[in-house]
Amino acid sequence: MAPLSSKPNAPKIIVTPPGPKARALIERDADVISNSAIRSYPLVAESGSGCIVNDVDGNEYVDFNSGHSALVVGHAHPRIVKAIREQSEKLIHYGWRDFYYERLIELGEQLNSITPGSYPKKVFFSSSGSEANEAAMKAARWHTRRPLFLAFTGSFHGRSFGTMCLTAEKPIQRRHFFPLTPEVTHVPYPYCYRCPFGLQYPNCNMRCVDFIEDEVLTKYHPPEDTAAMFVEPIQGESGCIVPPDDYFQRLKKLLDKYDIMMVSDEAQSGIGRTGKWFAIEHWNVIPEIITSAKALASGLPLGATVAKKEIMDWEKESHANSLGGNPIACAAALQVIETIREDRLLENANRQGTHLLKRLKELQQKFPIIGDVRGKGLMIGVEFVKDQETKEPAIDEAKSVMAKCFRRGLAIIMAGKSTIRFTPPLTITRDLIDAGLDVFEGTVKEVSPKLA
């Protein structure tokens, strides 16, 4: 087993960021790069190793962000680097839409073995999470001949035209892009901390599931015209929101009643992030389709749509792409899977996640500005509120925590309105978690209102 990723004396800030080299690059970037990129703060990355990312001015940050959750096995993992080098010397590209190559087949076999459901499956490859979901939409429509979809408010499934119709997180993701296709109905996500029905679990008796049947399917969204429901088992972009234990079982039962397929979008929560290969496994539910991206090839562009074999019965040329399932990305993904297995990274995600969650809950007791702490494995959200009773989101305070953490050497980003998200690589060690949390605690203390 390879050593987990540790580094004494991290983080190390030698010049307050953004330093001079970072500032110069940001100025050049402003001239040439699309305005639409988000840019959480002025971190100009130069290199990375394990759970540490280095900026162009020589600062070292503990990386609780993992390149937006993609670097599950950390930066520059030697096995991934070796696989990429060896594959690039052999075959960089050939195009799976027209020809065959072994890496693609091998990865298809591996994905079939790690996704839930012990029945034959088939995989459609692409280059991103949006494309993986787009393929799921098309496959679901093609197979069922049904036009409609269900999705959740607060969901993020991508920004392509098809997936933008599923995404319902922020108005800015749709503003000036209308008309969309109108075939998606959104229903409330089980966000128990802010229950959309004003109820409390478990006394709510899961009104949120009954609502779908009583109000949506029976009144205006015909179930017999519905191909699939897209779910994020943990809603990532909205703040790592974790549904209650029996939620997905209840939802799946409802969907099965109407022959509506479940698509589990695991672009963010998959490939070990939550301590299981796929987060939906925490609920013992087997979706008909699973989508994966981001971490699948540890940050190389790769998307996969894995479905029951009979669902992928679409005819030749009905869907394809040029660069999906690239051999280098496939070689990296095979090593990601092997590394997670051999280095027991699911166990490490659970172990370190339990420690991280415990320490964050202790901080919640200490600082009333922390309203909620939730998550599974190494996908954890800390939601900031101005007041524990009213739960008014403490947006500026959360942004300030994020900015201060950055200046002190902790790379961490927000999700939702006022949640800070903890998604370090699965290779992280306890000492690095503690080093990062010490920075976090100091900043939370600073932004917390002083008690009289």
Interface contacts to ligand PLP, rule CB under 6 A: 128-130, 133, 156-158, 232, 236-237, 265, 267-268, 293
Which of 354, 342, 411, 401 has the alpha carbon at shortest distance from 378? 354
User: CA 46 → CA 54, 126, 260, distances in Å?
Assistant: 6, 27, 46
Q: Considering beta carbons, is residue 65 or 268 the nearer one to ligand PLP? A: 268
Q: How far is the CB of 124 from ligand PLP (least distance, A)?
A: 15
Q: Can you list the positions of beta strands (E) in 226-378?
A: 226-231, 261-265, 289-292, 303-308, 370-376
Closer residue to ligand PLP (CB): 18 or 190: 190
* Shortest distance (Å) from residue 33 CB to ligand PLP: 16
Kindly provide the residue ranges of all beta strands, DSSP E only, lying in 138-187, ordered along the sequence. Answer: 148-152, 184-187
Least Å distance between CB 92 and ligand PLP? 21
Q: How far is the CB of 439 from ligand PLP (least distance, A)?
A: 25
Smaller CB separation from ligand PLP, 273 or 308: 273
| Total length of the chain | 452
Which residue lies nearer to ligand PLP by CB, 18 or 158? 158
Nearer to ligand PLP among residue 11 and residue 425 (C-beta): 425
Task: Using alpha carbons, select from 413, 289, 433 the residue that is nearest to residue 349.
Answer: 433
SS3 101: coil
In the complex, least distance from residue 219 CB atom to ligand PLP, rounded to whole angstroms: 28
Q: Which is nearer to ligand PLP, 167 or 443 (CB)?
A: 167
Question: How many Å apart are CA 52 and CA 63, to the nearest integer?
Answer: 5
- Our measurement of the distance from residue 401's CA atom to the centroid of its chain's CA atoms, rounded to an integer in Å, reads 21
Residue 51 has phi, psi (to 5 degrees) of -100, 20
List CB contacts of 285: < 8 A, sequence separation 6 or more: 116, 248, 249, 252, 262, 264
Identity of the residue numbered 272: G
CA distance 398 to 31: 29
Report, in Å, the least distance between residue 149 CB and ligand PLP: 14
CB closest to ligand PLP, residue no: 129
Of residues 251 and 437, the one with the C-beta less far from ligand PLP: 251
Q: How far is the CB of 423 from ligand PLP (least distance, A)?
A: 11
CB of 29 to ligand PLP, least distance (A): 19
Q: Which is nearer to ligand PLP, 4 or 229 (CB)?
A: 229
Identity of the residue, 80 or 151, whose beta carbon is nearer to ligand PLP in the bound complex: 151
The number of beta carbons lying within 10 Å of the beta carbon of residue 249 is 13
The residue among 44 and 290 lying less far from ligand PLP, judged by its C-beta, is 290
Q: Which residue has the tokens 């959360």?
A: 398
Distance separating alpha carbons of residues 290 and 293, to the nearest angstrom: 10
**What distance in Å separates the CA atoms of residue 334 and residue 339, rounded to the nearest whole number?**
9
- Exposed, middle or buried: residue 365 (CB in 10 Å: 0-12, 13-18, 19+)? exposed
CB of 447 to ligand PLP, least distance (A): 26
Minimal distance in Å, beta carbon 127 to ligand PLP?
Answer: 8
- Both tokens assigned to 307: 């479905």
Tell me how far, at minimum, the Cβ of 267 lies from ligand PLP, in Å. Answer: 3
User: Quick check: 406 and 59 in contact, CB under 8 A?
Assistant: no
Check if the beta carbon of residue 110 is closer than 8 Å to that of residue 125: no
Q: Token pair of 160, please?
A: 């392509």
- The alpha carbon of residue 159 and the mean position of all alpha carbons in its chain are separated, in whole angstroms, by 14
Residue number, 11 or 233, with CB nearest to ligand PLP: 233
